[in-house]
Amino acid sequence: MKTLNSDTQVQDKSTNDAALFEAIKGGRHELLDQLYQDHRAAFLTYAQRQLYATEADAADCFQDAVIAFYKNIVSGRLTDLTCGIRTYLFAIGKRLVYRKNQQRHREVPSDPDAGIGLGNDPADELDLSLLNRFEDDHRKAMLASALGKMGDVCKELLTLFYYHHYPIESIQNALNLSSPGATRIKKMRCLDKLKQILTPQS
């Protein structure tokens, strides 16, 4: 009887995973919240006990894992689910935790107040890497803020088309635009506007 229950649970789990995967693939990105809630507690326990992550780091990495999972689906890199969603998320999350642990380990000696280890030489490779990261973050912030300078409809239209890979007809329905043609023209104008914000001379 126990085996029968266990079989049923395994079956249910893979069926649920497949259904959730297909729904997300079909554009229901709001289901990421459910995905996060379903697997978050297990990952937090695992990352803290097995990978020595702090709770905050574990949660941060798991959020990034869910986003990476979603982006792999919409970009077409992940077309079929060949393992459980949890296995997939944990594999990404684990790599992110390792990277975070490594970063933390590397940042400690470069702390100028620490006065130990590699010292405060500005030419030190670790200090340069931190500087590079800061510059990269600055550029990222500049890029991310560009979309915020646009109107809500443009912002949503471009995001649905280029990020979530929605077809024009779905965008037309979602934004209540008059026709697919009008949606295409609107998309073109919005994109031109964004390009101008990013490279004003164009």
Partner 1 sequence: MNKDNRQNRIDDYLLGRAGREERLEFEEEVTRNTELSNELAETELALAAIELAEDRALKTRLQKLESNLSAAAPDTTTASSNPEKQAKVVTIKSRRSNGSMKLFAYAAALLLVLAVGWWAMNNTGGFDAELLAMESFEPYQNITTGTVRGDGGLSAEAAAFADYDAGSFAAAEVKLAALATTNVNKFYLGQALLAQEKFAEASSVFIPLTQISDFPLAKEADYYKGLAFLGQHKVSEARNTLSKIASDTTHPMQQQAEKLLAKM
Give contact residues for partner 1 (rule: CB under 8 A).
3, 6-7, 10-11, 13-14, 29, 32-33, 36-37, 40, 42, 45-46, 49-50, 59, 63-64, 66-67, 70, 75-76, 80-84, 86-87, 90, 140, 143-148, 155, 158-159, 162-165, 184, 188, 191, 194-195, 198-199, 202
Considering the complex, state which of residue 110 and residue 183 has its C-beta at the smaller distance from partner 1.
183
Our CB check for partner 1 shows the closer of 37 and 176 to be 37
Kindly state the smallest distance separating residue 202's Cβ from partner 1, in Å. 6
Minimum CB–partner distance for residue 94 and partner 1 (Å)? 8
Question: What is the SS3 assignment for the chain?
Answer: CHHHHHHHHHHHHHHHHHHHHHHHHCCCHHHHHHHHHHHHHHHHHHHHHHCCCCHHHHHHHHHHHHHHHHHHHHCCCCCCCCCCHHHHHHHHHHHHHHHHHHHHHHHHHHCCCCCCCCCCCCCCHHHHHHHHHHHHHHHHHHHHHHHHCCCHHHHHHHHHHHHCCCCHHHHHHHHCCCCHHHHHHHHHHHHHHHHHHHCCCC
Minimum distance of partner 1 from residue 114's CB (angstroms): 30
The token pair at 196 is 């101008």
Residue whose CB is less far from partner 1, 26 or 109:
26
| Closer residue to partner 1, CB minimum distance, 32 or 126 | 32
> Shortest approach of partner 1 to residue 47 CB, angstroms?
11
User: Could you give the CA distance from residue 91 to residue 152 in angstroms, rounded to a whole number?
Assistant: 36
Q: Rounded to the nearest whole angstrom, what is the least distance from the CB of residue 107 to partner 1 in the complex?
A: 21
In this complex, which beta carbon is closest to partner 1, that of residue 55 or of residue 121?
Answer: 55
In the complex, least distance from residue 133 CB atom to partner 1, rounded to whole angstroms: 15
Nearer to partner 1, 42 or 114 (CB): 42
Q: How far apart are CA 190 and CA 167, in angstroms?
A: 16
